[in-house]
Amino acid sequence: MGKGEKENNQFEKRIVDKSGIPAGWPGFFHEVVHPDKGFRGNPWNTISMKEWLILLKCFKLFSLMVTLVLFLLSSSALAEPIAEGRIVRGNSAAPVTIVEYTDFQCPYCSNGAKTISAMMEKYADKVNLTVRHYPLP
C-alpha cells in the first residue's frame, strides 16, 4: 500500500468515525476529493451501474405511485363539459374537444391561432373547438 492509499484510508476512517456511516454503504466515498494531497474522485464514480439502475427504478416506481395517489384523491373531473350556449367551432359531438385560452393582444396567441385554424380546416368534423378569453396580466 502506497503513501497516498494509506492517507486516503486514514481519511476515510475519520469520516466513518465522525459520521457513523458504515464504510460498505453504497455510494460511500472510496476515493476522497483532496486536491492538495493528490486524491481525486467523487461519490458518483463509486456507485456501480447496477446500483444506479436500482435507484432509477425506485425513483420511477415512487413517482408512479405518487401520480396514482394524486389521481385517485382528486375529486374534480379531468375535463369539464362545455356549457350550453358557448360558441363552438367544428363538430359539437366530436370525440376531441380543444379549449383554447387566448388573449387578443398576445403575439404568441396570434401565431397559435394560425396553427389552430390550419388544424380546424383539416379536422373540422373530428374536433370541437371553443375559445376562452384569458387576458394577460
Task: Tell me which residue has cell 403575439.
Answer: 107
pLDDT at 54: 85
| Of 84 and 5, more confident | 84
| Mean pLDDT of the chain, nearest integer | 74
pLDDT digits (tens, 9 = 90+) for 54-101: 888 888 999 999 988 887 777 666 566 666 777 788 888 888 888 888
Task: Tell whether the model's pLDDT for residue 36 goes beyond 80.
Answer: no
Residue 8: CB partners within 8 Å, gap ≥ 6? Answer: 31, 32, 34, 39
Task: Tell me which residue has cell 382528486.
Answer: 74
User: Percent of the chain, pLDDT > 90?
Assistant: 1
Candidates 101, 98, 80; CA nearest to 90 is: 98
Phi, psi of 39 (to 5 degrees): -90, 145
